[in-house]
């Protein structure tokens, strides 16, 4: 049989191509009207428009452009009929208003018409003026403009009346806030009306939080670069124990610290939200549940940064497990991205069941918004953790001192390292080097290496796994030393001690391990017990752990570590078993990636879904460059004690150095410290162009020779000699 020829689809008035073409024609017409009042060239088209509409052509272009964009975007944008009507009414009204002020003797003059409301405005003006007179005409025009304003902005006439009658004296009043009011429908005729009410209702009825940050604006200080003046010591500890030099605190070193500014961070990018899409998805959820015999209604819609949560109210007697088992069916019906639908049953604090699906127009949480919020409430946190925004759009900032240790785990590429960088950035924006110190361990050698050279570091980033055990052992001995200090000062925790001293005499120490898997597989037996001890006793003396891994297995995240690290962050993982290892519950296997996480600590019985903070590499580099620029003159003072502990072990004793055991650069180092009258490992490293380990060894030899004083906290060492012959001559005499 001969094949039937397929009929070609004809192009008609309803086709998409025709609508887009018509929209482009309207766009050209609207742009011509928009520029007509400003074009001085004499052409037939522009002359006729000026003659007919005058300056009101500018206003007539707005409804035409509105309709043009609606057709071009195929109805996805600019869909409000009310606004089109309001713009059209305002255009006719303004043309009439411009014609009122025309000279009656020049109403036929083309130039006069071009400079006012044109022929259209003149004719409407003459009609109204002849019926009611000029005074009533002006009143009518003003009232029509108010109605047009109501249609364009969505503000009801009742609200305008209330505002005029009783204006509120509110410092926080803004036009944006005023225009955001909506008139709620009194009767719910169908599901569309009900969802419209859900999306437009106030926050105390439904969690519908806009993506844009609604936080109060940050109070600007006189100096755009915030300078933190560290108070000087007020009093010394009255010791009842024997004299012990290592128990005496050091004075603050960075007394005029300049924090990085917000201008260093990337400006957030926003996408507008399509509420019609959310209403359609709500209808799909209800119809899908109904097809399985479940009577459920969507009562709340929470629009989060990257996830939308629909709150379901189900009839009494319906098993929650039935809805939990419908996750895949809902994902199919909603055509969800990544086939990801998470069921939260119930939503904490409510009697509703949450259906969470990816937001089709996601807005990521940028570090600039988080830091702005943090700076406005900085006094509430000792060690702020910038986590991100939850599913309702609320900013989530936790305090590491209350957790007090954090485990971060997730598959590769899900945002784990970005989250750790965001946490570090939060510390750098609020804490001086006198207030917090870092020990960073990076087996991958690339994630944390850019932080080298920061004054907040006690030691350059450790990349050799064989040395990690020594570093953690030093932390244990430092923890024990701090307990002796607290006992001597009759204080129970580091905050009490610092408060009694009047400054941060005992800074927080945050140990950050970027990849636990490699560490546990290499030296796991030695390290696990030390991490356990630090986690058990470090909180009171300001020692806190942040452990990250991309391999959430029982061999890496052992039971001992989980028992002592209550704070957990789980990014997207492959299986429910991995989610259980991290959080002791399932759910992380349904996350979207790209910073989507579940957070849990000892204060949250159920995990909280959060969109993690996005910190761009350029943001981190800008902040680090700003901080390093303050250290050009003084240089970075690392801890020599920690360096010694890493190289030789914390408990090893340095043997007496003889002339034969000294490095070849010993004499050069001696000359350098005499010329500068100062001594530090980092200074020798720069001047002699040697590695840090050799510089630290030279410092030990200079100390043993009696050339410099012993280490006193973070204070620079004193040079005890005035001539190199005092050391070299003594050695010659001995030989």
The CATH number linked to 713 is 1.10.10.10
CA dist 408 and 426 (Å) reads: 16
| Pair (396, 339) in one structural domain | no
Count CB neighbours of 394 within 10 A.
Answer: 13
Nearest to 48 by CA among 30, 62, 36: 36
Domain boundary among 296, 326, 358: 358
Number of domains present in the structure of the chain = 4
Distance between alpha carbon 522 and the CA centroid of its chain, in Å? 35
Nearest to 634 by CA among 453, 477, 484: 453
Q: Is residue 431 part of a domain?
A: yes
Q: Is residue 230 part of a domain?
A: no
Question: Tens digit of pLDDT for each residue in 318-337?
Answer: 888 888 888 888 888 888 66
Q: Is residue 139 part of a domain?
A: yes
Question: Tens digit of pLDDT for each residue in 25-80?
Answer: 988 888 888 888 888 777 888 888 888 888 888 888 888 888 888 888 877 778 78
Residue 62 near residue 86, CB atoms below 8 Å: no
Phi, psi for 196 (deg, rounded to 5): -60, -40
The confidence score (pLDDT) of residue 337 equals 62
Residue 371 near residue 426, CB atoms below 8 Å: yes
Judged by DSSP in three states, 352 sits in coil
Q: Is residue 618 part of a domain?
A: yes
Two tokens, residue 277:
């899409």
Domain boundary among 130, 154, 178: 178
CA dist 633 and 652 (Å) reads: 34
| Pair (519, 477) in one structural domain | yes
Q: Which domain holds residue 458?
A: 378-628
Q: Spell out the residues 6+ positions from residue 664 whose beta carbon is closer than 8 angstroms to its own.
A: none
Judged by DSSP in three states, 573 sits in coil
List the Cα angle 409/412/414 in 5-degree steps.
75
The confidence score (pLDDT) of residue 566 equals 92
| Pair (336, 398) in one structural domain | no
Count CB neighbours of 85 within 10 A.
Answer: 15
| Pair (113, 204) in one structural domain | no
The confidence score (pLDDT) of residue 427 equals 96
| Pair (394, 275) in one structural domain | no
Q: Is the dihedral of CA 138, 142, 145, 147 positive or negative?
A: negative
| Pair (589, 480) in one structural domain | yes
Judged by DSSP in three states, 510 sits in strand
Count CB neighbours of 302 within 10 A.
Answer: 21
Q: Spell out the residues 6+ positions from residue 183 whose beta carbon is closer than 8 angstroms to its own.
A: 156, 158
The confidence score (pLDDT) of residue 188 equals 42
CA dist 698 and 678 (Å) reads: 14
Residue 396 near residue 610, CB atoms below 8 Å: yes
The confidence score (pLDDT) of residue 208 equals 42
Task: Give the HSE-up count for residue 589: Cα atoms under 13 Å, Cβ half-sphere.
Answer: 12
Domain boundary among 154, 178, 202: 178
CA dist 591 and 589 (Å) reads: 6
Q: Is residue 337 part of a domain?
A: yes
Q: What is the end-to-end Cα distance of the chain in Å, rounded?
A: 116
CA dist 674 and 250 (Å) reads: 24
User: The CATH number of the domain where 440 resides is what?
Assistant: 3.40.50.300
Residue 288 near residue 329, CB atoms below 8 Å: yes
Q: HEC string of 153-221? A: HCCCHHHHHHHHHCCCCCCCCCHHHHHCCCCCCCCCCCHHHHHHHHHHCCCCCCCCCCCCCCCCCCCCC
| Pair (447, 547) in one structural domain | yes
| Pair (720, 575) in one structural domain | no
Q: Rg of the Cα trace of the chain?
A: 35
| Pair (712, 615) in one structural domain | no
CA dist 194 and 187 (Å) reads: 9
Residue 589 near residue 579, CB atoms below 8 Å: yes
Mean pLDDT by 10 residues, the chain (735 residues): 52 71 88 84 81 85 88 79 88 86 79 82 86 86 88 80 62 44 43 67 41 37 49 46 50 86 92 86 91 90 91 88 88 76 86 90 92 92 94 92 94 92 95 94 88 93 89 92 91 91 91 88 79 91 94 86 91 93 90 92 88 93 92 81 81 42 85 88 87 84 85 76 78 53
Q: Is residue 308 part of a domain?
A: yes
Q: Is residue 249 part of a domain?
A: no
CA dist 149 and 143 (Å) reads: 10
The confidence score (pLDDT) of residue 119 equals 86
Q: Is residue 410 part of a domain?
A: yes
The confidence score (pLDDT) of residue 717 equals 82
CA dist 183 and 194 (Å) reads: 13
Nearest to 329 by CA among 298, 360, 294: 294
Nearest to 627 by CA among 495, 400, 454, 405: 454
8-state DSSP, 180: T
The confidence score (pLDDT) of residue 141 equals 87
| Pair (590, 698) in one structural domain | no
| Pair (599, 726) in one structural domain | no
CA dist 105 and 134 (Å) reads: 16
User: The CATH number of the domain where 303 resides is what?
Assistant: 3.30.980.40
Residue 582 near residue 588, CB atoms below 8 Å: yes
The confidence score (pLDDT) of residue 226 equals 54
Q: Is 174 exposed, middle or buried (0-12, 13-18, 19+ CB in 10 A)?
A: exposed
| Pair (552, 617) in one structural domain | yes
Residue 644 near residue 710, CB atoms below 8 Å: no
């Amino acid at each position: 049989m001969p094949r039937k020829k397929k009929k070609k689809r004809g192009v008609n008035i309803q086709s998409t191509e025709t609508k887009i073409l018509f929209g482009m024609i309207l766009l050209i017409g609207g742009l011509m009207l928009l520029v007509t009042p400003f074009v001085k060239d004499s052409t037939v088209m522009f002359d006729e428009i000026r003659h007919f509409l005058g300056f009101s052509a500018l206003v007539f272009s707005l409804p035409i452009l509105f309709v043009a964009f609606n057709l071009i975007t195929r109805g996805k944008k600019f869909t409000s009929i009310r606004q089109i009507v309001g713009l059209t009414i305002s255009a006719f009204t303004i043309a009439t208003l411009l014609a009122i002020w025309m000279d009656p003797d020049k109403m036929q003059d083309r130039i006069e018409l071009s400079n006012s409301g044109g022929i259209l405005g003149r004719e409407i003006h003459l009609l109204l003026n002849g019926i009611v007179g000029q005074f009533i005409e002006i009143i009518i025009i003003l009232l029509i403009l108010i109605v047009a304003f109501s249609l364009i902005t969505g503000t009801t006439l009742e609200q305008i009346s209330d505002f005029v009658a009783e204006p509120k004296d509110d410092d926080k009043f803004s036009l944006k806030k005023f225009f955001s009011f909506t008139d709620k429908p009194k009767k719910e005729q169908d599901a569309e009306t009900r969802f419209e009410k859900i999306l437009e209702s106030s926050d105390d009825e439904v969690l519908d939080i806009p993506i844009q940050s609604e936080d109060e604006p940050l109070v600007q200080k006189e100096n755009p670069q915030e300078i933190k003046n560290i108070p000087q010591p007020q009093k010394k500890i009255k010791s009842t124990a024997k004299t012990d030099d290592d128990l005496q605190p050091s004075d603050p070193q960075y007394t005029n610290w300049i924090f990085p500014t917000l201008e260093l961070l990337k400006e957030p990018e926003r996408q507008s939200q399509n509420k019609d899409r959310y209403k359609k998805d709500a209808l799909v959820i209800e119809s899908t549940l109904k097809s399985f015999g479940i009577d459920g209604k969507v009562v709340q819609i929470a629009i989060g940064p990257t996830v939308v949560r629909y709150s379901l109210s189900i009839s009494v007697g319906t098993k929650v497990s039935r809805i939990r088992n419908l996750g895949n069916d809902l994902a199919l019906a909603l055509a969800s991205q990544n086939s990801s639908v998470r069921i939260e049953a119930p939503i904490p604090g409510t009697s509703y069941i949450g259906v969470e699906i990816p937001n089709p127009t996601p807005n990521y949480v940028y570090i600039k918004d988080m830091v702005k919020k943090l700076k406005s409430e900085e006094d509430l946190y000792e060690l702020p953790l910038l986590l991100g925004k939850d599913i309702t759009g609320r900013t989530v900032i936790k305090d590491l001192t209350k957790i007090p240790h954090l485990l971060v785990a997730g598959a590769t590429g899900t945002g784990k390292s970005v989250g750790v960088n965001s946490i570090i950035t939060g510390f750098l924006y609020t804490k001086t080097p006198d207030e917090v110190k870092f020990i960073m361990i990076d087996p991958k050698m690339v994630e944390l290496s850019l932080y080298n050279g920061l004054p907040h570091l006690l030691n350059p980033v450790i990349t050799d796994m064989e040395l990690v055990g020594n570093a953690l052992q030093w932390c244990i001995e430092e923890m024990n030393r701090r307990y002796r200090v607290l006992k001597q000062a009759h204080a129970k925790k580091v905050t009490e001690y610092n408060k009694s001293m009047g400054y941060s005499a005992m800074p927080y120490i945050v140990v950050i391990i970027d990849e636990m898997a490699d560490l546990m597989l290499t030296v796991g037996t030695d390290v696990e017990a030390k991490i356990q001890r630090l986690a058990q006793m470090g909180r009171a003396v300001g020692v806190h752990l942040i452990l990250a891994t991309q391999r959430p297995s029982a061999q890496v995240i052992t039971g001992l570590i989980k028992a002592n690290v209550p704070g957990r962050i789980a990014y997207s993982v492959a299986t429910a078993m991995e989610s259980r290892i991290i959080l002791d519950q399932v759910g992380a296997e349904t996350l979207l990636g790209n910073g989507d996480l579940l957070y849990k600590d000892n204060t949250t019985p159920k995990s909280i879904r959060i969109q993690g903070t996005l910190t761009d590499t350029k943001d981190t580099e800008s902040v680090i460059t700003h901080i390093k620029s303050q250290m050009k003159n003084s240089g970075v003072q690392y801890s020599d004690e920690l360096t010694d502990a890493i190289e030789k072990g914390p408990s090893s004793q340095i043997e007496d150095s003889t002339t034969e055991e000294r490095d070849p650069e010993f004499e050069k180092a001696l000359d350098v410290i005499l010329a500068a009258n100062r001594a530090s490992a980092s200074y020798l490293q720069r001047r002699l162009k040697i590695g840090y380990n050799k510089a630290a060894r030279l410092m030990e030899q200079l100390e043993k020779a009696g050339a410099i004083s012993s280490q006193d906290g973070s204070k620079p060492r004193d040079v005890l000699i005035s001539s190199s012959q005092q050391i070299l001559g003594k050695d010659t005499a001995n030989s």
